[in-house]
Structure 1
Amino acid sequence: MILGHMYHMSVIQKYKPLDTDSTSGEIFSGSYGWCSPTALYERSCEAHKHRGNPSGLYYIDADGSGPLGPFLVYCNMTDAAWTVVRHGGPDAVTVPGAPSGRPRSAASFAYAAGAGQLRAAVGLAERCEQRLALRCGTARRPDLRDGTPLSWWVGRTNETHTYWGGSLPDAQKCTCGLEGNCIDSQYYCNCDAGRNEWTSDTIVFSQKEHLPVTQIVMMDGGRPHSEAAYTLGPLLCHGDKSFWNSASFNTETSYLHFPAFHGELTADVCFFFKTTVSSGVFMENLGITDFIRLELRAPTEVTFSFDVGNGPCEVTVQSPTPFNDNRWHHVRAERNVKGASLQVDQLPRKMQPAPADGRVRLQLNSQLFIGGTATRQRGFLGCIRSLQLNGVALDLEERATVTPGVEPGCAGHCSSYGHLCRNEGKCREKRRGVTCDCAFSAYDGPFCSNEISAYFGTGSSMTYNFQEHYTLSENSSSLVSSLHRDVTLTREMITLSFRTTRTPSLLLYVSSFYEEYLSVILANNGSLQIRYKLDRHQNPDAFNFDFKNMADGHLHQVKINREEAVVIVEVNQSAKKQVILSSGTEFNAVKSLILGKFLEVADTDPDTRRAAASGFTGCLSAVRFGRAAPLKAALRPSGPSRVTVRGHVAPMTGCAAGAASGSPARGLAPRLAGGTGRSGPADEGEPLVNADRRDSAVIGGVIAVVIFILLCITAIAIRVYQQRKLRKENESKVSKKEEC
């Protein structure tokens, strides 16, 4: 009922007007569909992703400005934007045995969207799939003697299908049958083998025109003691065929042509464009006297013009900055019997009311020209993308493949969407869109914005090796220089976030094969201290930054930027100080980076030694030294491990979790995230492995002890109560005897 109520409200809101012309009182439709750059409802999760939205629940409106309402989905933002449509059917269906040929199970699956909405969403997607996990014991025979299938499923169009898992329709094969690896080669599904053991089939439905699954029926072939169970997953779709559908116009005389635009009473046109030229026609359609046209008239002007028999009418949007900056700009033009409107990007919407007693029908009879005109003059040079007329997307790429002077697709998306890649992530071009390369970021996720955090227990440490260690004699200093000269630094950027209540603490230590080092510590009073030793023959430069007590259990961010002898330290994105080094400007032969406790500190200063012996207990996140991200290398390994972990280090969902609570110390204990971690003896040094099991065992043990203590206390209390009650009863009996 809640979903139904939300759906009803969303249908009403979809057609809520955006603007009212205060002068004329005319109201334009202003639907919240895809055409609007300020839309409440995007057409797909792909569109939500390229607005920079994270994973979560969103409404999508698959038909744009069409009549269908929006509906609620979960958008899973990974490298692809997956649309997840869940069903309201049973999570798991158990199929008991039954007499031969009779239905054993018939389960129906309803979705929080209508058939039309599902059809539009699936049709818009590049790929859709739905998974069925089937387990069976002494399962059915493949069919009856007359060849009647014993199981089938029903798709979106109410048609019955007997194929299973990625096979072609009517093939009656599971995925193992297609791949030729079923447990019995006589059958095309594992569950058809009828063995006296539990077997399984993983089935993937991927024929878009049949999805989603709305019903599954299973019958029995008379095999005694047979049973089965299955789980149907949600409908999964990714991609948006219209969002990146584009064409590049390379000459002023080139254009694409389509059938005449039928927008007699209502015309709704929207698209993206990018260009470097000062003018050009985006779209034109002519009639005998009527016409409709959209064009870039000047570098800062987009004009929408038309004539329905009342004389030419123009609406122009002017921008304070040029449109020919080779970035994507969004255009939406509307025309109806009440007037016309034009909006470009987020600029103010311009409107023009229609004459009170004029003609209203737009009558066009020629072909629709995209990127040019019928006269082949004033053609557009650049790219047009995601063109829709009255909610219908035009396939520009298909037409461009057979048109001289026009190429399918467009390059250069990073100029418009590169800002979505954060925290040193790099925008990379794809054929359809962009991706964020997080290789040199301390974060991960589709936008390099997911914090990578770890809880460090008492005595734990993590060591990141910049290069292999070579054991060399004292007389081989020249060889050391030769081996490690590529890791000599004159500048570095260091970032980290942390929460702790322990002092002294070692936040970060970077060592060198030449006994040079950098240490970042919290002193006994919680102040931040940094030491650079860039010359083995000099004492380190020591700097004390009395910003505040930073061992207060709250989240703190530290950024250190060194350019030769100049070091700038920034704390919590506000307090900033600059210091000058005297011990040198080159950090030579960098060896390793250490987080937490370590004992090999003979060549360091006393304060660093004390902090190193104490280590770090609390949460560290987003640690980066130049291009090295040790937490990411440990928790999200993508190649040979450079990281060694000692003691208890566990992944967390983020150091910020719990930091806003009333007690600063709350949340310092690990909140485990998915991923890898390690918990082991402090004297072992191994690559990071799974820590979740030991953490769960420890938590379970603590809970068991607490429950046992509570039970003991309860038993003692009951025993004491019973003894007191018995004593009172005895005293009462003695009193009565004395009275007698």
Structure 2
Amino acid sequence: LLSPSQPLFCPPDTAWTSVQHNGSHLVSVKSSNGESPHPVFFKYTASMDQLQAVIDDADHCQQKLTFHCKKSRLSTPHDGTPVSWWVGRTNETHTYWGGSLPDAQKCTCGLEGNCIDSQYYCNCDADRNEWTSNTVVLSHKKHLPVTQVVMRDTGRPHSEVAYTLGPLLCSGDNSFWNSASFNTETSYLHFPTFRGELSGDVSFFFKTTAFSGVFVENLGITDFIRLELRAPAEVTFSFDVGNGPCEVTVQSPTPFNDNRWHHVRAERNVKEASLQVDQLPRETQTAPADGHARLQLNSQLFVGGTASRQRGFLGCIRSLRLNALALDLEERATVTPGVEPGCLGHCSSYGHLCRNGGRCREKRRGIECDCTFSAYDGPFCENEISAYFGAGSSVIYDFQHYNDTFSKNSSSFVALFHEDLTLMGEMATLSFRTTEMPSLLLYVSSFYEEYLSVILAPNGSLQISYKLNRHREPDVFNFGFKNLADGQLHQVKINREAAVVFV
């Protein structure tokens, strides 16, 4: 719950909450007189309680840490003792770096097997007398945000480290996909008593094929509150505050038990009660002018069933909120017989969100759009990443001036992207569709007549050429299993590690 001064930026497909800190600039670490450098502490524009609320409510959080090192290691080679680490929200120390499992003491390149020296699990541990770098993304929510970064291996001659820590970024609603599957009519979840004496609201999604069932019920001595699917096309909100039972019902022209997600919102206050399902008209019931108004409940709240274990609900309930506070259905479902955490079948309701040929992939918590066979990218395959090339046309990218960016920050970084730098490996992925042959798909060259080329031969077969030594002829790999100039979308992935190429 950040103050209005906290920034929020909203790209087209995903909204991110961004929380800044006082150390977004480049931090250079270098020992003086043999003493260990002082660690840097990061202070955020929100309190730790506010940060924890943001992180807990988010579906995903991350922080990007980019560090550059020269003769400065993250761990010692003889016993793997960490000499660099970072500290999280509760002052715990962590030695893993982005994408790695906690306490694995590996960088992302170590897990993927593409570090510049295969003997080490981080580029910095190669201990080279030249600048190397890693950009890592820390995403274990329980450990975020980063409050301190410690780099201690800078006491040797020519040792130096520099790094930048990005803002805390969080996205998604953790409660939106929080769900439970009710497999028997006698199964239910129970929570503390619903507090809605004078006013209260309940909202959730449900999906079922059953003809009827109780979603939520809470009883008092005589008072009660209940939400149920009374018939296949009828949802009813009933309660009693001492004036006798009162009901508000929404009827639909089509059945609700179609195994698709439907949204329910019920509200009661001293003036009226209301019920809305999906986009159907909102139904209301006015409270008696001189009647009782206080709802007095004393039992546990039952979800997916009733205290009498009759008319239980069969299906899925998701994103249950009482008075705008989310209930953790999944956590309670893991210890309750007859109820399972999570739901399947999200694509049946949300698959249409995957655009431009994207394929909906089922996840326990929602969906994922697979854009592999689409000319688009992004969460819903809506960001066009393709271009049409006419005969003789091309797009050229020139990377030779990248060192200018770093020279503004530190003269030491010029060597990082110097022209003498030799790549030990690379990964390239491209998708294409054409009927023309021969065709040049990709050409990458260095300053020393080294190159990679990907072409379609005159017969439409794929041909990949590598020239890694200007004094030798290129290595040519032919894939003649089919004619790829067939007007269909094809994807090529190339991964080179030293002298070994995977296609």
User: Aligning the two structures, in what range does the TM-score lie when normalised by the shorter sequence?
Assistant: 0.5 to 0.7
The corresponding residue for 1:301 is 234
2:164 to 231, 236, 257: 231
**Does 2:246 align with 1:313?**
yes
1:334 and 2:270 matched? no
Q: 1:86 to 1:296 in 2, by over 3 A?
A: same
Task: Give SS of 1:209's match.
Answer: helix
Between Structure 1 and Structure 2, how many residues are aligned?
415
Q: 1:415 to 1:683 in 2, by over 3 A?
A: closer
- 1:225, CA displacement in angstroms? 4.4
Query: 1:216 matched to which residue of 2?
Result: 149
Paired with 1:202 and 1:409, the residues of 2 have a C-alpha distance of 34
2: distance between equivalents of 1:646 and 1:84?
48
CA distance in 1, matches of 2:282, 2:162: 57
Letter in 2 for 1:394: L
Q: For 1:256, which of 174, 185, 189 is the aligned residue? A: 189
Match of 1:8 in 2: 4
Tell me what 1:471 maps to: none
Q: Please say if 1:165 is aligned against 2:97.
A: yes
| Residues 345-387 of structure 1, C-alpha deviations (whole Å, 9 max, x = no match) | 1223334444455544322221221122222222223221121
TM-fit CA distance, 1:90: 2.4
**CA offset at residue 430 of structure 1?**
3.2
CA contact (8 A) 2:7 2:18 kept: no
Partner of 2:56, secondary structure, is helix
SS of equivalent to 2:248: strand
From the superposition, tell whether residues 179 and 448 of structure 1 become closer, same or farther in structure 2 (CA, over 3 Å). Answer: closer
Contact 2:31–2:154 under 8 Å retained in 1 = no
Q: 1:141 to 1:234 in 2, by over 3 A?
A: closer
Deviations 1:227-253 (A, max 9, x none): 211122444557754322323334433
**Equivalent residue letter for 1:335:** R
Amino acid in structure 2 at the alignment position of 1:163: T
User: Hey, what does 1:695 align to over in structure 2?
Assistant: none
Aligned equivalent of 2:203: 270
Paired with 1:118 and 1:76, the residues of 2 have a C-alpha distance of 25
* Number of the residue aligned with 2:8: 72
Counterpart residue identity of residue 72, structure 1 = L
Instruction: Name the amino acid aligned to 1:376.
Output: R
SS at match of 2:330: helix
Paired residues of 2:217 and 2:224 also in contact (CA < 8 A): yes
SS of the residue corresponding to residue 365 of structure 1 reads coil
SS in 2 for 1:422: coil
Check conservation: 1:283, 1:369, Cα contact below 8 A: yes
Residue 40 (structure 2) aligns with = 106
Asked if the contact 1:456/1:649 (under 8 Å) is kept, the reply is no
Map Cα deviations across residues 173-225 of structure 1 (whole Å, 9 max, x no partner): 55489979999999997657866443545555344223122443556865454
Q: Is the 8 A contact 2:39 2:148 kept in 1?
A: no
Which moves more between the two structures, 100-109 or 405-414?
A: 100-109
| Aligned pair partner of 2:283 in 350, 368, 392 | 350
- Deviation for aligned residue 1:417: 1.2
CA contact (8 A) 1:305 1:313 kept: yes
Task: Verify: 1:94 aligned to 2:28, yes or no.
Answer: yes
AA in 1 matched with 2:4: H
Q: 2:431 corresponds to which residue? A: 636
Task: State which of 67, 75, 78 in structure 2 corresponds to 1:134.
Answer: 67
- Are 1:141 and 1:193, in contact at CA under 8 Å, matched by a contact in 2? no
2:387 to 440, 454, 479: 454
Helix, strand or coil at the partner of 1:327 = coil
In structure 2, how many angstroms separate the alpha carbons of the residues matched to 1:458 and 1:301? 61
Kept in 1, the 8 Å contact 2:177–2:318? The answer is yes
- Residue 330 (structure 1) shift: 0.4
* Aligned partner of 1:119 among 42, 52, 75: 52
CA contact (8 A) 1:278 1:296 kept: yes
User: Aligned partners of 2:239, 2:439: CA distance in 1, in Å?
Assistant: 74
Secondary structure, counterpart of 2:181 in structure 1:
strand
CA distance in 1, matches of 2:430, 2:105: 40
Q: Deviations over 1:110-138 (max 9, x none)?
A: 46x66445323422455544342222224
| Residue matched to 1:418 | 351
| Structure-to-structure mapping, 1:233-248, within 5 angstroms | 233-235=166-168, 241-248=174-181
Equivalent of residue 298 in structure 2, options 351, 365, 370 = 365
Contact persistence 1:284–1:291 (CA under 8 A):
yes
**Deviation (angstroms), 1:293:** 0.7
> Aligned ranges for residues 439-588 of structure 1 at < 5 Å?
443=376, 445-451=378-384, 453-459=386-392
Partner of 2:367: 434
The one-letter amino acid paired with 1:98 is: S
User: Which runs of 5 or more structure 2 residues have no equivalent in the other structure?
Assistant: 395-428, 444-451, 466-503
Residue in structure 2 matched with residue 282 of structure 1 by the alignment: 215
Distance 2:276 2:298 in 1: 27
- 3-state SS, counterpart of residue 313 of structure 2: coil
Which digits, 9 at most, give the CA deviation of each residue in 1:483-529, with x for residues without a partner? Answer: xxxxxxxxxxxxxxxxxxxxxxxxxxxxxxxxxxxxxxxxxxxxxxx
- The residue type equivalent to 1:94 in the other structure is S
CA distance in 2, matches of 1:301, 1:226: 72
Partner of 2:483: none
The AA in structure 2 aligned to 1:90 is S
Q: Deviations over 1:287-318 (max 9, x none)?
A: 11211111122333322222233333333333
2-side partners of 1:453 and 1:201: how far apart?
29
Q: CA deviation at 1:286?
A: 0.4
Structure with the higher helix share, 1 or 2: 1
Instruction: Output the CA distance in 2 between the equivalents of 1:650 and 1:168.
Output: 35
State the identity as a percent.
Answer: 65
Secondary structure class of the residue paired with 2:362: strand
Distance 1:425 1:188 in 2: 35
CA distance in 1, matches of 2:352, 2:391: 40
Return closer, same or farther for 1:338/1:165 CA change in 2, 3 Å cut-off. Answer: farther
Mapped to 2, the partners of 1:427 and 1:141 lie a distance apart of 40
Pick from 370, 382, 385 the counterpart of residue 318 of structure 2. 385
Q: Over residues 88-125 of structure 1, what are the superposed CA-to-partner deviations in whole Å (9 max), with x where a residue is unaligned? A: 542432234434446456363646x6644532342245
How far apart in 2 are the matches of 1:141 and 1:413? 43
RMSD: 4.8
How far 1:343 moved relative to its partner?
1.9
Q: Distance in 2 between matches of 1:133 and 1:401?
A: 38
TM-score (norm 2): 0.65
Q: Which amino acid aligns with 2:95?
A: Y
Q: How many Å separate the matches in 2 of 1:258 and 1:293? A: 14
Which of structures 1 and 2 has the larger relative contact order (alpha carbons within 8 angstroms, sep 6+)?
Answer: 2
Contact 2:62 2:141 (C-alpha < 8 Å) held by counterparts: yes
Q: Secondary structure at the match of 1:456?
A: coil
Classify 1:416/1:688 alpha carbon distance in 2 versus 1 (closer, same or farther; 3 Å).
farther
Q: Out of 282-291 and 371-380, give the one that drifted further.
A: 371-380
Instruction: Please give the TM-score of this superposition, normalised by the length of structure 1.
Output: 0.47
Q: Distance in 2 between matches of 1:452 and 1:180?
A: 26
Indicate if the aligned counterparts of 1:281 and 1:371 stay in contact, CA closer than 8 A. yes
Q: Which amino acid aligns with 2:260?
A: R
Q: Which has the larger radius of gyration?
A: 1
Q: Secondary structure at the match of 2:52?
A: helix
Partner of 2:476: none
